[in-house]
Amino acid sequence: MFGSLRQQLLAGISVAFLLLLTGIETIHVVAARRIMQERLESHAQDAATSLGLSLGALLAHADLALAETVINPVFDRGYYQRIELISIEGRVLLAKKLPAIELGVPEWFATLLPLEAPTAGSLVMAGWKQVGSVHVTSHPRFAYRQLWRTTWGTLAWMAALYCASLVAAFAFLKSVLLPLESIERVAIAIGNRDFTAAAETPRTRELRHVAATINSLSAKVKQAIEIEGARAESLRQEAYHDSVTGLLNRRGFSTQFEARMRDAGDVYRGALVILQFHDFAAFNRDAGYEQGDALLESVAAVIAARSEAVGGLSAHWSGAAFVIALPNASGEGAGIFADELARAVDAALAEAGHVASVGYNLGVGTFKGASPPLGQLLAAADGAVARAASRGNGLVDQGAADSAAATLGSSAWRARLEKALSSGNFELYSQPVLGLPRRDLVQHEILARLIDESGRSVAAADFFPMVVRHGMAARLDKLILDRVIGQLARTPQMGETAVNVSATSIASGDFLKWLKSRLLAAPAAAHRLVFELSESGSALDRDSVLRFSAMLRQAGARFALDNFGLHRESLQLMRALLPAYVKLSRAHNAALRADEASRFFVASLVRLGAPLEIRVIAQGVEDEEVLPILSSAGVAGFQGYLGGPLSVWRS
Amino acid sequence: MLPTSWRGSRRYAFASVLLATALAVWAGQLGFSTSVSAVLIDQYASRFGQDARERLLGWRAFVKGHGTEAQVARETAMLAIVNRYFNRARFVSDIEHWGVDDYWATPAELIASDGGDCEDYAIAKYFALKELGIPRARLRITYVRSLLLKQAHMVLAYYPTPQADPLILDNLDDQIRPGSQRLDLVAVYSFNDEDALIAGGRPAFRQVRRWRDLTDRLEREART
């Protein structure tokens, strides 16, 4: 009923003041009534005594006419209801009586505070003779009026006092409880997993202790998060980077390649460049390992700089081989890149004085359409390296590894998508997410597939890059989300449900507005929905993600990151965006089985997530072996073929 | 068995009834010689001298002696005896005797101190006659003006019937005479504690401050 502490205190104080002032008012009015009553009595007695003294001689002479003229001026003043003159024998000689007149106050008032009309008498003596008596009855009219005025006068004062004390109490409570509001703000921030705010230090002792404790606890949690974050970062570095050159190692490159080239969804062509030194073992033997490492380091620096300049992904693949992935590079562009790289590497070798003692070959593998698996692309590039080596002239060679999608031209894709969007030719599939270690159902993830002209369903990985390329992501998301929300609303027995949304869609204000109104219209569905964004997409525009998650919070829904753990800034992203959970990229699964470093990394990720209330879920789990590893690292759940395959989602 | 609080309130109610009865008895006998206790006699003896003891006991014996024989038929004779008895006290002005301008002494104070002025005599006689059984409606303490002394004076008037010419008990005159023969006195105003009835149940003489003081002191004496 009452909101804040201040309102409750104010209500209590106002009731207490009201009772107090009502009590004072009552005491005052009752006392005033008693005084009025006594005054009426003495007033009657005074009149009786003075009339008794002055009437004696007149009654002795039986001069009633004169007696009446003595009584009249007293009576006519209006203070008396009745004046009677009675002979000593008991005969009424003279009676003056006021006609019934109004009291001048409301009846309820006279009933509440009754005033008696007192009668006083006095003997009338003529010399020593008792000749009669005079009886005077006061009229309470004036006393009532006086009492009425007194009552209202004091009531007005009390009301004024009441208002003044309420204003004073309000001001006082406001100043005393102000720090409480600051503490409340911090408490809410902590509730929202934000440990950065600190409460002001209040003057009130109890509040000061509360504020100090909250601040110190919050600081400790914050510190623990910092430490865990730093540890996870260093473990990630160790697991996915080469210790000599600092570039990604083979494992790191594989995961990053999956994320950048295959999962990001915006790649429609590209190339992979391999730089391979030949006979590096001989160089190591002749010049020493120290020289060998120094050479690799300087070459790695050149490769990293070149690759970064064009948005590529570089790695130290093995002892003397480097790879560079170039998303969306044409065959021609990749050739130019390789030539420039060769010149830069030559320059670096020349500077170190090794031009004559070591040789290398460059090969380029290219693809059109969605990216083929890394192995396939590597094979194409490796073939090119081999051809270059066999020619022995150090020239760059190219090999193609085009995917199936590339067989359809870009404009044909556009037409196909346009048709599917306008006719709604998509089908919804669901996949269960199971909890660990109990394998209970915790979530369904909804995935969309395109139905092509011949009625076959096409996986998102195959058509989504084209959707992005043709700027249709928001339209597709609207279509799918509208269908998901509608179907979820009709399926009340379904629990938490995850659905994907693209990073380009959420950057659009129109889309946010549409989604918000759609969610507010279906609150029961909104509360079960979690919107998944890819990590790589989120990393590009954090502000949009924050706006998106704020909107979802208002609408009762949540958001999460999937394909997580591949990006350079994974951990910062997780701490900044505070998703409900993160879904580890499937690329980690192989590494988890193979080595301890990535297990440490995942365990550290779980520990970092705990205070921030971020669950970690594994994706693409296909064999039993990896489950105990996930369990012991503290992963909350998993999905993939092992948890249950995709099935058509029907309400 | 009743709850304690209820038993307590019953005990309280019982005590109240006792107290009220006692007060009623006192009120009826205020100013009577019988309401003078041994303790009060001791007090007044130490205050006014050992003679006071004798005088107070004498007063009691006087009233007792006449009370048995006094009957309505002998009222007039009794007035003379009472008048003479109290007139024996010395006349002393209030300022001299009590150190204040005007002081209405109780009968016991008058007797014990063996001194008083006009209203003290009138009051003592009023209470003595009441104690001897004369209806108070016949007794009125009266403010008068003494034409001889040219000053305010107070006497006790006795009215055998309401319309009658009263008999005047005056400390300046051991003779009891009718008011019509007292040409030296002009009656101004009279009262007794019966005026209470006229005022509709509330004692009107409560309004006379000196009478109120007197009543307070009488109650205190009765409690001693």
Name the more confident of B206 and A255: A255
| Beta carbons of A125 and B191 less than 8 Å apart | no
Q: Which residue is closest to A48 within chain B, CA to CA?
A: B199
- Residue A218 banded pLDDT, cuts 50, 70, 90: confident
Beta strands across the sheet bearing B167-170: B173-178, B167-170, B151-158, B139-146, B185-191
Positive or negative CA dihedral for A501, A503, A506, A509? negative
**Most confident listed range (A29-33, A601-605, B146-150):** A29-33
Question: What pLDDT is attached to residue A159?
Answer: 93
- pLDDT tens string A324-373: 999 988 888 898 999 899 889 888 888 877 766 778 888 899 888 778 88
Question: What pLDDT is attached to residue B1?
Answer: 36
| Beta carbons of B190 and A125 less than 8 Å apart | yes
Residue B69 has pLDDT above 90, yes or no: no
Name the more confident of B20 and A551: A551
- Residue A511 banded pLDDT, cuts 50, 70, 90: very high
Distance in angstroms (rounded) separating the CA atoms of residues A241 and A239: 6
Instruction: State both tokens at B150.
Output: 């040219």
> Residues A566-585: what's their mean pLDDT?
87
B157 touches chain A (CB under 8 A): yes
DSSP per residue, A8-32: HHHHHHHHHHHHHHHHHHHHHHHHH
Q: Which fold has domain A5-163?
A: Beta-Lactamase (3.30.450)
> Residues B3-9: what's their mean pLDDT?
42
> Residues A378-392: what's their mean pLDDT?
81
| Beta carbons of A120 and B163 less than 8 Å apart | no
**Which one of B165, B187, B199 has the shortest CB-CB distance to A119?**
B199
| Beta carbons of A125 and B189 less than 8 Å apart | yes
Distance in angstroms (rounded) separating the CA atoms of residues B51 and B55: 6
- Residue A212 banded pLDDT, cuts 50, 70, 90: confident
Distance in angstroms (rounded) separating the CA atoms of residues A28 and A36: 12
Task: Return mean pLDDT, chain A.
Answer: 86
Distance in angstroms (rounded) separating the CA atoms of residues A399 and A365: 5
> Residues A305-324: what's their mean pLDDT?
89
Q: Which fold has domain A410-648?
A: TIM Barrel (3.20.20)
Question: What pLDDT is attached to residue A636?
Answer: 92
**What are the chain A neighbours of B159 within 8 Å (beta carbons)?**
130
Beta bridge pairs of residue B212:
none
Residue A19 has pLDDT above 50, yes or no: yes
Residue A119 has pLDDT above 60, yes or no: yes
* Residue in the structure block whose two tokens are 């279509």: A479
Name the more confident of A196 and A218: A218
> Residues A582-600: what's their mean pLDDT?
81
Question: What pLDDT is attached to residue A162?
Answer: 93
B192 touches chain A (CB under 8 A): no
Number of helices followed by number of strands (H, E) in chain A = 22, 19
Question: What pLDDT is attached to residue B14?
Answer: 56
Residue A517 has pLDDT above 90, yes or no: yes
- Residue B8 banded pLDDT, cuts 50, 70, 90: very low
| Beta carbons of A120 and B198 less than 8 Å apart | yes
Residue A562 has pLDDT above 80, yes or no: yes
- Residue B207 banded pLDDT, cuts 50, 70, 90: low
| Beta carbons of A123 and B166 less than 8 Å apart | no
Question: What pLDDT is attached to residue A28?
Answer: 92
**What are the chain B neighbours of A49 within 8 Å (beta carbons)?**
189
- Residue A485 banded pLDDT, cuts 50, 70, 90: very high
**What are the chain B neighbours of A130 within 8 Å (beta carbons)?**
140, 159, 162-163, 190
Distance in angstroms (rounded) separating the CA atoms of residues A108 and A110: 5
**Most confident listed range (A250-254, B17-21, B143-147):** B143-147
**Which one of B157, B191, B195 has the shortest CB-CB distance to A128?**
B157
Compute the count of residue pairs across chains A and B with CB atoms less than 8 Å apart: 60
- In A98-205, which ranges are E strands? 119-126, 129-138
* Beta-carbon count within 10 A of A38 CB: 11
Do B189 and B204 touch, CB atoms closer than 8 A? no
Interface of A to B at Cβ within 8 Å reads 41-42, 45, 49, 52-53, 88-89, 118-123, 125, 127-130, 133, 135
Which burial class, exposed, middle or buried, applies to A564 when counting CB atoms under 10 A from its CB (0-12, 13-18, 19+)? Answer: buried
Do A153 and A77 touch, CB atoms closer than 8 A? no
B149 touches chain A (CB under 8 A): no
- pLDDT tens string A501-510: 988 899 889 9
> Residues B142-160: what's their mean pLDDT?
90
B161 touches chain A (CB under 8 A): no
Q: Domain residues of chain A, as ranges?
A: 5-163, 244-407, 410-648
> Residues A26-39: what's their mean pLDDT?
91
Residue A538 has pLDDT above 50, yes or no: yes
Chain A closest CA to B177's CA: distance in Å? 12
**Which one of B168, B189, B199 has the shortest CB-CB distance to A120?**
B199
* Beta-carbon count within 10 A of A222 CB: 15
Distance in angstroms (rounded) separating the CA atoms of residues B84 and B171: 8
Regarding beta strands B115-116 and B90-91, do their DSSP bridges make them parallel or antiparallel, or are they unpaired? parallel
- Residue B12 banded pLDDT, cuts 50, 70, 90: low
**What are the chain B neighbours of A121 within 8 Å (beta carbons)?**
195, 198-200, 204
> Residues B150-174: what's their mean pLDDT?
89
* Residue in the structure block whose two tokens are 């051809």: A387
| Beta carbons of A45 and B204 less than 8 Å apart | yes
Distance in angstroms (rounded) separating the CA atoms of residues A501 and A474: 9
Residue B79 has pLDDT above 70, yes or no: yes
**What are the chain B neighbours of A122 within 8 Å (beta carbons)?**
195, 198
| Beta carbons of B199 and A52 less than 8 Å apart | no
Do A327 and A311 touch, CB atoms closer than 8 A? yes
**In the CATH hierarchy, which top-level class contains the domain A244-407?**
alpha beta
Do A57 and A70 touch, CB atoms closer than 8 A? no
- Residue A329 CA to its chain's centroid (Å): 41
